Amino acid sequence: MAPLVGIVLAALAAEIVPRTGLIAGDALPPLSSVLAELGRQAGDAALWEALGRTVRTWAVGLVVAVVAGVVVGVLIGLVPILRAITASTVEFLRPIPSVALIPAVILVFGTGFESGVVLIVYAGFWQVLVQVLYGVQDIDPVAHDTARSYRFSVWGRVRYVIWPTALPFVFTGIRLAASVALVLAITGELVIGTPGIGQLISVAQSSGATTEMFALVLVTGVLGVLVNTGFRYAERAVLGWHPSVRRSAGAR
């Protein structure tokens, strides 16, 4: 109930504030105008084509980031010497914003689809990697020693000991990476000019089509909510056996 009240209040503010004259000119159109424009654009194939391009860039980059983050995270977590060697490198590279790499990415990959994917992979990889490392660290030493005493193979240890423990952390990393990937996909289209929703927003802004611009921004907001909600439901479905998921479900 509370989220619904928040949405209603935000919608009322978005409708009333532009009509009060507090913001000069047409810089902030009322929500009703934005929704009307969005309805008009929904019948235009260009919007759906741009949305498909954005989702494709997001999905490809996210998949590569998740696979790389999980594989590298498990490998580093299993080998203590690798963890010690790479710790400073990870802490140095992880805080670098992906947008700071845009000039270099354009020089190397141009302004095509690949540039957006590279930005997403760089940003999402660290989100997943760090969570996987936390998950490997969280393994019960008794379970680890038991697997070793029973002479489990490396694959057996990963499958029966490491993966069940690390999986909740992996899902957290994927959820964080999914949101970051969407931000980077749209940012890349805005700055680089790669075809997609971000490019349409940039064109609308430069041509003074403010209402159209806000309608497209609203599309990105809805897309972000759908992504986050979808991954939360997937997490609950896959991790229904995990105590943390059962506790959160019971609390609701």
pLDDT of residue 59: 95
**CA–CA distances in Å: residue 172 to residues 117, 168, 177, 252:** 21, 6, 8, 20
Burial of 58 (0-12, 13-18, 19+ CB in 10 A): buried
- DSSP code per residue over 126-170: HHHHHHHHHHHHTS-HHHHHHHHHTT--HHHHIIIIIHHHHHHHH
- The Cα 232–Cα 249 span in angstroms is 12
Distance of CA 220 to the CA centre of its chain: 12
Longest dimension (CA), the chain: 74
Q: How many CB atoms lie within 10 A of CB 174?
A: 22
- The answer to whether 128 touches 70, Cβ cutoff 8 Å, is yes
Nearest CA to 183 among 7, 93, 54, 41?
54
pTM given for the model: 0.85
If you search the block for the tokens 């490809």, which residue do you land on?
60
- The answer to whether 239 touches 245, Cβ cutoff 8 Å, is yes
Distance of CA 95 to the CA centre of its chain: 16
pLDDT of residue 89: 86
- Residue 98 gets which letter from DSSP? G
pLDDT of residue 24: 66
Which residues in the chain come in under a pLDDT of 50? 251
Helical residues (DSSP H) of the chain, grouped into ranges: 2-16, 31-42, 45-78, 80-93, 102-109, 113-137, 141-149, 154-157, 163-192, 197-206, 210-238, 243-251
pLDDT of residue 173: 92
Amino acid 193 reads: G
